[in-house]
A and B are shown apart, each in its own frame.
Chain A
Amino acid sequence: MDLPAVVTTDLRLNEPRYVKLPEIMKAKKKPLETFKLTSLGVSPRERVKPVRYEPPVQRQNGIVLKTPQELVEALKKKGLVA
């Protein structure tokens, strides 16, 4: 690909480095620059508005069987396995 590029990675790509305490302390001293949105030339609008929130439909509790035989029979009865 040509650069510059935005890259996303797989979550198992690597083991992130552990940040040591002195580095955390140093980070606090780094300059922090604040931009105004207008200075970046963007004017965000709320284009996706939440209307309502609901809990999802819960699955019914099933049954605990005792033996693999019972399971195979139950699945056959439901036509899920031949």
Chain B
Amino acid sequence: MSRVLIIAEHDGKTLNPATAKCITCAHLIPAAEITIAVFAADASAIAAQAAKLQHVARVLKVENPANKHPLAAVLAPQIAALARRFSHVFGPSTTFGKDLMPRVAALLDTAQVSDIMTVESATRFGRPIYAGNVLVTVDVVDCEPIVGTVRTASFEAAAEGGSASVEVSPTRADLPAGTRLVAVSGGKTDRPDLQTARRVVSGGRALGSADNFKILYSLADKLGAAVGASRAAVDAGYAANELQVGQTGKIIAPELYVAIGISGAIQHLTGIKDARTIVAINKDPGAPIFEVADYGLVGDLFTIVPELERLF
């Protein structure tokens, strides 16, 4: 039997849907018993949400004032201490998980399987390489526990309907004081979160300026969509770093993705290939984005976008 520990991602109040996707992935491991660990200052509300998810056997609360903000340097030794009792330790392949899980793997002197897309057995997983151009299936040998990050776009979220027990787990590891949080700054908006939004409107270099980028915001607001950007648009300073979609940005799987003025470099496409429906608006009919788009519109985005906003 496999005993899988999943590290919950949350913002201190609400469980991030990425965690429910990790559960679906872990459940594909034959006879997996799934435990969710919630590291927080006050984990009760989050643990209660995690306990309601299907396939979860147990939720562990690891409460400590030092766990208020998810600092990888502080969380990793606590996870490593817990992990000895498990066969697998999974986290989401989000900014949170990508920061944290490699440290856990290093502390456990084990190998990490990154961006798990498929599960064939307790030790055989599929993952993307070369910017998603190739899928490789790997066997993990001689690793206990196996540390993995789950490519959330590849899995549906586990549904509610479970009733796991919630237990308190004491913090045993000595917490490192070497890394201290100074401040958290950044995008608090009323818009949906890019990583989990059902609809995303994304812009590329063709927008031409940060000012022009605003037309996407008003279209996104009309659609109730999150706003994303290509690397070219972020590099040019039209959009904030955290909006970047693609290999070095966020890997997303919305129901609707609208790519506006994005040519569709492979590094961008790898971030959106699990989107249910892709719409491309570009003036170049030969742009690679049209090869993956379900619907394409060839033309000037500055006439099409306001028109769409009016029509929706």
Are chains A and B native binding partners rather than an unrelated pairing?
Answer: yes
Bound-complex Cα distance A65 to B311 (A): 15
Chain B residues near A64 (CB, 8 Å)?
285, 290, 295-298
A50 in the interface (beta carbon within 8 A): yes
B307 in the interface (beta carbon within 8 A): yes
Bound-complex Cα distance A5 to B103 (A): 13
Bound-complex Cα distance A74 to B258 (A): 13
Does B311 contact A51, Cβ atoms closer than 8 Å?
no
Bound-complex Cα distance A51 to B124 (A): 9
Bound-complex Cα distance A13 to B292 (A): 32
Does A1 contact B295, Cβ atoms closer than 8 Å?
no
A27 in the interface (beta carbon within 8 A): no
Per DSSP, chain B at the interface is: mixed
Does B296 contact A65, Cβ atoms closer than 8 Å?
yes
B111 in the interface (beta carbon within 8 A): yes
Chain B residues near A69 (CB, 8 Å)?
311
User: How many of chain B's residues have a CB under 8 angstroms from any CB in A?
Assistant: 50
Given A1-B179, A75-B256, A81-B223, the answer on whether A53 and B134 have CB atoms closer than 8 Å is yes
Which of A48, A61, A62, A78 is within 8 Å of B138, CB to CB? A48
Given A54-B135, A81-B256, the answer on whether A71 and B291 have CB atoms closer than 8 Å is no
Does A63 contact B296, Cβ atoms closer than 8 Å?
yes
A56 in the interface (beta carbon within 8 A): yes
B158 in the interface (beta carbon within 8 A): no
Given A48-B140, A63-B296, the answer on whether A53 and B135 have CB atoms closer than 8 Å is yes
Does A62 contact B295, Cβ atoms closer than 8 Å?
yes
Chain A residues near B169 (CB, 8 Å)?
none
Does A47 contact B135, Cβ atoms closer than 8 Å?
no
Q: A residues bordering B, Cβ < 8 Å?
A: 1-2, 5, 10-12, 45-56, 59-65, 67-69, 71-72, 74-75, 78, 80-81
Q: B residues bordering A, Cβ < 8 Å?
A: 73, 110-111, 113, 124, 128, 132-143, 177-180, 199, 223, 234-235, 241, 248, 255-256, 273, 276-279, 285, 290-298, 304, 307-308, 311-312
